[in-house]
Amino acid sequence: SPLTKVKLINQLNEREADLGVKETVSWHSEYKDSAWVFIGGFPYELSEGDIICVFSQYGEIVNINLVRDKKTGKSKGFCFLCYEDQRSTILAVDNFNGIKIKGRTLRVDHVKDYRPPKDSEDIDDVTKMLREEGCAPTAPEDEQNAVPAKKLKKDKK
């Protein structure tokens, strides 16, 4: 059951914290090559923007796939989210797994091998663009190749 998985993840995190387990041998290290997380159990009325707003407190989000009913377009209450930095996934799993939003318990877990959905012909343009390009902010083209100059700090003695 999803709630059992929520409890198991939280117990595992507690046990690792109590034992002082190093990051390199933590259960999270199995997912070090993936910046994707699964988020399930959230209220159906939440949009991509709502989810990004909540989950961006632990890092820059570069892609989201909110799973919707193909006929009605309504959310199914779960999504896959990709962070720019994989370490953000650890923070999200540790801090959001088991919390309640509008009376519903969130399940947040790592995704080892995320595969984007195969698009059907009737996909809307916005969803298609999000899946291809992600939702990360981009710098204007004239700034993309500019390297910021480093300011040298003077030694204080």
* 23-64 pLDDT tens trace: 777 778 888 888 999 999 999 999 999 999 999 999 999 999
81 bridge partner residues: 37, 64
Look up tokens 């009325």; give the residue. Answer: 45
Confidence band, pLDDT 50/70/90 cuts, at residue 144: very low
* Residue 99, phi then psi, degrees to nearest 5: -75, 160
Q: Tell me the domain boundaries of the chain.
A: 2-110
Statement: residue 99 has pLDDT above 80: yes
Look up tokens 């809307």; give the residue. Answer: 124
CA pair distance 69, 117, nearest whole angstrom: 13
Confidence band, pLDDT 50/70/90 cuts, at residue 121: low
DSSP H or E run through 36: strand 36-40
Q: What is the pTM of this model?
A: 0.71
9 bridge partner residues: none
CA pair distance 9, 98, nearest whole angstrom: 9
pLDDT (0 to 100) of residue 134: 62
The radius of gyration of the chain's CA atoms, rounded to the nearest angstrom, is: 19
Lowest-confidence pick of 2-6, 64-68, 93-97, 121-125: 121-125
Q: Which CATH number describes the domain made up of 2-110?
A: 3.30.70.330
